[in-house]
Chains A and B, each alone.
Chain A
Amino acid sequence: MEYIVIVIGAVLVNNIVLAQFLGLCPLFGVSSKISTAAGMGGAVLFVMTVASIVTYLLSNFLLEPFNLMYLQTITYILVISSLVQMVEIILKKVSPPLYQALGIFLPLMTTNCAILGVAILVFQQDLTLLQGVVFAIAHSIGFTLAIILLAGIREHMDLLDIPKGMKGNPIIMVTAGLLALAFMGFAGIV
């Protein structure tokens, strides 16, 4: 039950992108096509989950016992950038087309604040390891959902006649705003 609450809360109610404003760079950068968006979601799912586990172990068994919490930010970001590097190497070997498609956004994932944000939140909210893993997976699903929804709308938007001043980024922002408004409807279900 507890885990269901975490999942619904993270995916729908407090969606990481649309309600907590984390991971916006990839949201706008890689959402022009559904297929790339889904690929990005998968990569985030992997990195976020593993990063949360590693940072959880590091903070609880190394940083906190030795009173080194002031090194938290630095440690977390180094863990995340190594992981991203690893995913890059694996993807290059396993799925070159996806690697090509994700392009610049793969190395940029190091600076995806969603991943660092979730890792810090897992620690701040005093979650157990298992709760933390569920929390991370749920948040990456929330991220994927938001990015795919936006990509779907953007694919249709190509065919529309949009006022000149609003073309490009402005209309995408407003669309994301309306999406966020729709997600507010989930408030209160947990």
Chain B
Amino acid sequence: MSHVKSMRCRECGKEYPVEPLNVCELCFGPLEISYDYDSIARTVTRRSIQDGPHTMWRYHDFLPVDAESAVDLGTGFTPLIHAKNLGRVLGLDKLYVKNDGVNPTFSFKDRPVTVTVTKALEFEFNTLACPSTGNLMGAVAAHGAKAGMKTLVFFPSDLERGKIVQASIYGPTMVAVDGSYDQVNRLCSELADNLPWAFVNINMRPFYAEGSKTLGYEAAEQLGWRAPDHCVAPAASGELHTKIWKGLEEMGDVGLIETPATRMHLAQAAGCSPIVEAFQSGNLQVRPVRPNTVAKSLAIGNPAAGPYSLQVLRQTDGTAVAVEEEEVAEGIKLLAETEGLFTEGAGGVVISGLKRLVEMGKIKHDEVTVAFITGNGLKTLEIVEDQVDLVRTAPDYGSLQAALDGR
């Protein structure tokens, strides 16, 4: 049973019935789902969650859909790993890595999409669509296939090969736009206005955004029902950062954990860091930028949830850091060499951002810290291709010995 009350404009508070609509008609503010938290608190216990499936659907009471009809590929409840080796390098005793690169389509985007596609069927849409920086389109294409829906994905044509090939294999219509993500997003917004399609991150955005809260729930449960002292999340639109926090807050509100005092940090790459720039200059609004970064999954120059991400930074005493472009690959390599986990560009940004936060003295050695790794390294081989170092040899024992000499 869903505990949803209505939809509400986050800016002016106007209430709306639950329908595929993302924008307030009065002030253009974002609509958000509002829940009956008393009802959730009466229904949900730690035990009821633990008895649920080993997926994010164990938290269905906090989601705006009915779990029985979920379009589910087995998303979520991904490993939270005590990263002792990486922690030793960085000087952190209680560092944890939330590895969301092992989701069904290899990124956290399965979380928002499983919720959205379930809701899209409930609304009786036949067609799914999205603008994407790469990870989202894989998730949308896969869930569209599972749901038997017509699916179209729109993306900047310069995306990494792995993301394009992966998404195409599920059989959607692939629309490569010769432009930036922000341009793709604008085109899709205009298209969404005129077509009866479920654009997962446009007209379906209120439902989509809720899926990312489950990263916060899982991290808290896996830490033994407590919020971390610090979270470090990557930021593109800023929505993930705000929704991890919303998840932690909700768990506190319904009494599953103590009221969280987590500091919510975020990281962007220098080539696209509009939220960091606003944070550092003390602005509450984000000035858009033109992205030029190897971390393409974070290449959003005009972040929709930027103002709210800035609010969360302030409210939780978090810090926003930008890492240099070369630190993206360094972060990927560091996580791989210490923990055996291979992440994509956004994960490299998170690891290098975490390192920066420790150097800045923002995180103390004994504080519980969760770094959110949101995508799999096989999606962005281009970023680390030049790190490949081969030992070449002829197929005889002498040559092999010579080749290995000194290794």
Whether chains A and B associate is no
Interfacial residues, chain A to chain B (CB-CB below 8 A): none
Interfacial residues, chain B to chain A (CB-CB below 8 A): none
